[in-house]
Structure 1
């Protein structure tokens, strides 16, 4: 954010577009109260805008004495506010047209329309929150499951920051010892306790970093979810399975092969994990042009999938098309879903003997039997055999993970230098590199262009 814009008073609608009972407009900056006083006519003529109290009145168009809406207004003086600046909120009726008209008056009175995420960016720049907490706000708004919200709330409360800060404190302790040795080079052998430094590095830096990196996949899964593609030849029941998992008639189901021409995507909550379930066109040869486009899309989605539900018809023997499709997806993590169990009058077929290996779940999508077994199998495939998720404070996004890996590499170089008895100057360089990588996560050393990318992910008004 350019310096000359940080002094602006900014405003935006903070509630989603559309009609609702209440809509909120937020103003932040030195002119927030003055703008409110120009537009707000309190019911109590002697109103002095007590801090953090709602005041009843009307928004009136200046110069026309025309009442636009009956509202509640609150003035929150710095620093006890979201941005650590003076903040005003106007709570009015939730018509988006009405909110837009009031916002226009606010902008005409001297405020500037806020950029996406600018309120939260100011909270970060003014030191109220670190960068991990700022990113947690995005994750709360985008969370698709309760576990996702819990993870984001823990991060907002500082769980990740505290784990990073504990590692930084260990590095700062090492840095202090090393800098003393650099200042007194003739006595460094007596000053530097290599065994003590190695112990600090292992217990306070290396091990905590390894745990954070190990939990990064958990954080990513709870934040972004996983992609699960239902694959199979036409008419094995893929769309019926989608409907059974969603418990609604989302996809058309007919006895005509090739009904699904394009992919259909929906989110499921499976034990707190957001699962993007994708029904694809049945893959077969000699399809007509529109269906062939759907098949090509299905093959792309299969390559991108985190998990494949390879679906076959349990009431008949496998066809060559089934086997070809299995060879196409065999390298992916997959669950074999054997459908139409209710039609297996002549006993259960041994598909493993035909080369279809892997975890198998028998279901009847039509009768909705075995669906819970399949949900449990999906969860088991995602968690990879772990009994439970790890502690709060995992690193939920790619930016965090990359910085942690760079910090771990610097930590490894410190360990090698200590073991080799290298100079204190060389060790100090790697300690500083490790500190900078960790500082990038919490926002101490983050480049401006990275900050811009992070905050433009926010919606307007947050």
Structure 2
């Protein structure tokens, strides 16, 4: 357990109905008793006031909860001071806690202590951040499954099987003259590889649910890009006029389709222009295309395709593109025979074809892979990379056994696979890795 006590504001800054200052450590109760007029009681929410101990000035009317170790989030003594949600009151209370002996918490330090004190493993700790950052119900459900230890349990089961094989092979190497009962080594390695391959196969879909799909809406001016954005969002988020070039900058909004978060980026119309402001907008459109995982290329179905449409189509070659033939409520004039991407006909004005467009977007995003309603999905790129490394080492171990290589070679790859799997749950983790992971957390969590 840590020797110092940390404190931080655990609610977002700004005005709100309530704000929380959290303390964790062996002096949490002692510090609270210096500031709080009420009686600090274990697992009771007590009414009182926070008072500056130097001059007796009342800072705020509060409720204080004290939770004694080890049955707390960090497995340390924790105090939570619930005050009014104004930033000044929160900062005053935090400053008093620091003056009375607490240290300002680092980003994610409360969750880091929960991990280091053994309450949760590293994969569960990362799931805490996923819950905080969840964009849809599906991504929240997957994050909660991670916090419950769904992935961790599978990883531990695989590690235990491999540890048994490693112990057996190590004993054969270290004690060649002893009679060691024969044990199947190849079968468990093959089974572990298959289990890892199944987990890896879910990762691409899982990361889509976790991080979303960046989707650029592109096309020449006045084809209905902003209207399409508004129709997808079911609100008038972008300014729409009949004047070409109305959109001068990119506009981002998040859309939830069947649990998949799409980060929609409305862009300026791509055209040749001498207007320096419009040129800047077009340059940002090109950058949006480069950053996008999915592109909605909007075409005007009510007009013949232009040379500019063809140039944009050439620019999008090799990308994941869905061609949206807009203005289907008007008589069709465009010949779409030369369009080399999947086409959905829609009307941003009436909503015709919108359901088909949304289905096509989700299908392209998931690529026919597992959905959030399927078995547990791996949603973290770090976990996927560790699983892939472990699977590669197991493939080498399997190959060594099949070809009769010395068992030392097998144990080397088995040990490397176990190390990779341990990086997921935290059994084999470096200080640098912990710093990288927890630096992404907010202060107070």
Q: TM-score, normalised by structure 1?
A: 0.93
Aligned 8 A contact 1:264 1:278 in 2:
yes
- Call closer, same or farther: CA 1:251–1:134 in 2, change over 3 Å: same
2:59 matched to 1:76? Answer: no
2:205 matched to 1:201? Answer: no
Distance 1:286 1:349 in 2: 24
2:421 matched to 1:438? Answer: yes
Other-structure match for 1:7 = 3
DSSP 3-state at the match of 2:37: strand
Distance 1:329 1:244 in 2: 24
2:208 matched to 1:221? Answer: yes
Structure 2 residue ranges without an equivalent (≥5):
none
Distance 1:397 1:300 in 2: 26
2:122 matched to 1:139? Answer: no
Distance 2:409 2:34 in 1: 61
Shift of the alpha carbon at 1:327? Answer: 1.2
Aligned 8 A contact 1:116 1:461 in 2:
yes
- Call closer, same or farther: CA 1:187–1:63 in 2, change over 3 Å: closer
Structure 1 residue ranges without an equivalent (≥5):
none
Other-structure match for 1:305 = 292
Distance 1:411 1:390 in 2: 30
Superimposed CA distance per residue, residues 173-195 of structure 1 (whole angstroms, 9 cap, x where no aligned partner): 2112112211322468x7444xx
Pairing 1:134-213 to 2, within 5 Å after superposition? 134-186=125-177, 191-193=181-183, 196-203=184-191, 205-213=192-200
Aligned 8 A contact 1:178 1:192 in 2:
no
Other-structure match for 1:264 = 251
Aligned 8 A contact 2:209 2:372 in 1:
no
DSSP 3-state at the match of 2:18: strand
Report the number of matched residues: 445
Runs of 4+ that moved beyond 6 A? none
Q: TM-score, normalised by structure 2?
A: 0.96
Aligned 8 A contact 1:76 1:86 in 2:
yes
DSSP 3-state at the match of 1:41: coil
The partner residue of 2:49 within 38, 58, 77 is 58
Superimposed CA distance per residue, residues 199-242 of structure 1 (whole angstroms, 9 cap, x where no aligned partner): 11112x10111011111112211111011111111111101111
2:336 matched to 1:351? Answer: yes
Shift of the alpha carbon at 1:348? Answer: 6.7
Other-structure match for 1:29 = 25
Shift of the alpha carbon at 1:350? Answer: 4.1
DSSP 3-state at the match of 1:20: coil
Superimposed CA distance per residue, residues 324-344 of structure 1 (whole angstroms, 9 cap, x where no aligned partner): 111111311111101111111
Q: Root-mean-square deviation (CA), in Å?
A: 1.7
Shift of the alpha carbon at 1:63? Answer: 3.6
Pairing 1:372-451 to 2, within 5 Å after superposition? 372-386=355-369, 388-389=371-372, 391-451=374-434
414-423 or 251-260: bigger deviation: 251-260
Shift of the alpha carbon at 1:374? Answer: 1.0
Aligned 8 A contact 1:11 1:106 in 2:
yes
